[in-house]
């Protein structure tokens, strides 16, 4: 199971070339992002009533890059929707093994306007999609249809750009701390009380190291956790309030919080308390280190809960653990250890976006499927099967969710993540960055240099800040 898609990529030059490309003969007049009038953003039309005038069944193609149970769940939801009515047929098309691959294909299709009515992409692609001009904001459809999802304010705010809410449906995940309770017991630590801050994590790691654990923290060197630590502690990585009050034009990555965090990582590695794993797509070394009991703790996505349950608590046919015996491991989860407090994260996950290039009846059909996704039964399926977090009170109140959180190992770990999601500040749900791939690569490279090559904090932070600034400059230049 692919527990987290690769960081979404968008070629800036390709996007710049695609913006504004328009076929007047076939497209609705919606190819530019909403403009702001005297009373706020002026939304484009969402033709929710066009489905009533359609001749025959309207096909809606949906592009995605999900795998394993999440893909099966999407297929099942589409099949159930198709059987529930006779006006719309959703055609689910897998376009690759990662968000990155799907986004590349989507961007390549912009100039020809051969876009699907629906595309599922990583949350970090939001700013890039808005700037592309080919996305129909779901807020327009909500208002035209008199619909309110009731989702958590932090989630809605995260996916709001230029004063407009964009995706038709969202799947939310969060980073949390997984740990082996048996190792905690052997080290004299309370197995019911995981570390809540990075300093507490350091102290727990020292105790685990002294008890014989080779590298207590298994740590994948990606930008997601770094970004969560900085954002959660009130810092920023780019200007304009992390890109939320305007288009980010300046890097603010080189700051006191970043240097404090990188110093902690450097010291953890130097003491042998942390083993770094480069964030290479498809590798699972960070999990294997825990499964083979070389490490006791792992920071990873909440969507890994079902995989960890299978691999660490009972084995899995999909992953070869060699001679490791996962049955002796007692997995549990705690909140993401923060710089200052536990659970200081940003909203993360993926989202279904509607495009504005198809005919009106196809747009209306795509929106009908999005409304179906918001039904409680559909939300519950995403949680129980795909490990995505519920974001409405209706889903949380479902009896099967309440039972899952108590009776199932994966459910108990996901409950930790849901409780953490409730603490995300709606005013600071996470950054919006245009050239996200280049920004993310700059941070990833800095972590590789810091942990795997032993370069200094000053050198890697300074270099990453310069790389991020160059990426922002190119994005602004290419997109006007």
CATH of the domain at 193: 3.40.190.10
DSSP letter, residue 327? G
Determine the Cα–Cα distance for residues 94 and 110; give it in Å rounded to an integer.
18
Query: Are 323 and 393 part of one and the same domain?
Result: no
Query: Are 124 and 203 part of one and the same domain?
Result: no
Q: 410 in a domain, yes or no?
A: no
Determine the Cα–Cα distance for residues 242 and 234; give it in Å rounded to an integer.
10
At 105 the three-state DSSP class reads: helix
Residues 6+ apart with CB under 8 A from 476: 247, 249, 434
Instruction: Output the tens digit of pLDDT for each of the chain's 480 residues.
Output: 333 333 233 232 233 333 332 233 333 334 445 655 556 788 999 999 999 999 999 999 999 999 888 899 999 999 999 999 999 999 999 998 889 899 999 999 999 999 999 999 999 999 999 999 999 999 999 999 999 999 999 999 999 999 999 999 999 999 999 999 999 999 999 999 999 999 999 999 999 999 999 999 999 999 999 999 999 999 999 999 999 999 999 999 999 999 999 999 999 999 999 999 999 877 889 988 998 899 999 999 999 888 778 765 554 545 555 555 666 789 999 999 999 999 989 999 999 999 999 999 999 999 999 999 999 999 999 999 889 999 999 999 999 999 999 999 999 999 999 999 999 999 999 999 999 999 999 999 999 999 999 999 999 999 999 999 999 999 999 886
pLDDT of residue 2: 33
Which helix (H) or strand (E) segment is 345 a member of? Answer: none
Q: 2 in a domain, yes or no?
A: no
Query: Are 301 and 442 part of one and the same domain?
Result: yes
Q: 417 in a domain, yes or no?
A: no
Q: 141 in a domain, yes or no?
A: yes
User: What is the model's pTM?
Assistant: 0.89
Query: Are 267 and 369 part of one and the same domain?
Result: no
Number of domains in the chain: 2
Please report where in the chains the tokens 């941070």 appear, as a residue. Answer: 443
Query: Are 187 and 219 part of one and the same domain?
Result: yes
Q: 72 in a domain, yes or no?
A: yes
Query: Are 211 and 296 part of one and the same domain?
Result: yes
Q: Residue 293 to residues 90, 305, 350, 370, 446: CA-CA distances in angstroms? A: 44, 18, 31, 43, 28
pLDDT of residue 329: 85
pLDDT of residue 6: 31
Domain boundary among 378, 397, 416: 397
Query: Are 227 and 155 part of one and the same domain?
Result: no
Q: Which two tokens stand for residue 36?
A: 């702001």
pLDDT of residue 320: 57
Query: Are 157 and 287 part of one and the same domain?
Result: no
Q: 291 in a domain, yes or no?
A: yes
pLDDT of residue 18: 34
* Beta bridge partners of residue 180, listed in sequence order: 331
Query: Are 104 and 216 part of one and the same domain?
Result: no
**236 burial level (CB within 10 Å; 0-12, 13-18, 19+):** buried
pLDDT of residue 29: 39
pLDDT of residue 322: 58
Residues 6+ apart with CB under 8 A from 143: 43, 46
Q: 4 in a domain, yes or no?
A: no
Determine the Cα–Cα distance for residues 222 and 281; give it in Å rounded to an integer.
11
Query: Are 52 and 125 part of one and the same domain?
Result: yes
Q: 374 in a domain, yes or no?
A: yes
Rounded (10°) angle between helices 68-84 and 360-373: 110
* Beta bridge partners of residue 136, listed in sequence order: 354
Query: Are 234 and 88 part of one and the same domain?
Result: no
**212 burial level (CB within 10 Å; 0-12, 13-18, 19+):** exposed
Which range marks the domain in which residue 152 is found? 12-172+347-397
Query: Are 333 and 262 part of one and the same domain?
Result: yes
């Amino acid at each position: 199971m692919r527990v987290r898609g690769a960081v979404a990529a968008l070629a800036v030059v390709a996007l710049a070339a695609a913006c504004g490309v328009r076929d007047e003969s076939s497209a609705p007049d919606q190819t530019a992002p909403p403009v702001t009038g005297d009373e706020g953003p002026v939304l484009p039309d969402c033709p929710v009533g066009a489905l009533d005038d359609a001749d025959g069944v309207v096909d809606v193609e949906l592009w995605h890059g999900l795998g394993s149970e999440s893909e099966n769940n999407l297929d099942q939801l589409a099949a159930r929707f198709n059987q529930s009515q006779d006006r719309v047929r959703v055609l689910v098309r897998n376009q690759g093994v990662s968000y990155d691959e799907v986004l590349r294909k989507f961007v390549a299709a912009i100039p020809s306007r051969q876009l699907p009515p629906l595309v599922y992409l990583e949350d970090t692609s939001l700013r890039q999609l808005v700037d592309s001009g080919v996305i129909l904001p779901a807020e327009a459809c909500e208002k035209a249809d008199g619909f309110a999802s009731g989702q958590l304010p932090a989630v809605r705010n995260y996916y709001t750009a230029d004063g407009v809410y964009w995706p038709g449906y969202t799947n939310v995940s969060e980073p949390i701390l997984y740990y082996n309770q048996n190792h905690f017991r052997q080290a004299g630590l309370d197995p019911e009380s995981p570390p809540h801050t990075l300093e507490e994590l350091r102290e727990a790691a020292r105790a685990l190291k002294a008890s014989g654990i080779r590298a207590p923290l298994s740590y994948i060197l990606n930008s997601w956790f770094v970004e969560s630590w900085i954002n959660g502690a009130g810092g920023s990585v780019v200007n304009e309030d992390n890109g939320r009050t305007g288009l980010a034009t300046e890097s603010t990555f080189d700051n006191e919080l970043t240097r404090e965090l990188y110093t902690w990582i450097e010291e953890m590695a130097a003491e042998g308390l942390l083993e770094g794993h480069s964030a290479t797509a498809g590798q699972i070394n960070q999990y294997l280190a825990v499964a083979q009991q070389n490490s006791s703790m792992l920071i990873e996505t909440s969507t890994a809960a079902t995989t960890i349950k299978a691999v660490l608590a009972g084995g899995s046919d999909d992953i070869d653990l060699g001679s490791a015996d996962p049955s002796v491991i007692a997995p549990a989860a705690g909140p993401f250890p923060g710089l200052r407090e536990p659970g200081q994260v940003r909203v993360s996950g993926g989202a279904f976006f509607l495009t504005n290039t198809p005919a009106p009846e196809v747009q209306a059909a795509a929106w009908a499927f999005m409304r179906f996704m918001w039904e409680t039964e559909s939300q519950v399926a995403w949680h129980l099967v795909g490990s995505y977090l519920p974001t409405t009170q209706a889903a949380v109140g479902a009896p099967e969710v309440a039972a899952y959180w108590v009776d199932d190992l994966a459910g108990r770990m996901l409950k930790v993540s849901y409780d953490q999601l409730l603490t995300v500040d709606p005013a600071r749900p996470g950054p919006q960055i245009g050239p996200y791939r280049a920004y993310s690569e700059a941070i990833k490279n800095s972590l590789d240099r810091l942990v795997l090559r032993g370069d200094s904090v000053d050198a890697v932070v300074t270099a990453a800040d310069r790389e991020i600034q160059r990426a922002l400059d190119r994005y602004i230049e290419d997109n006007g």
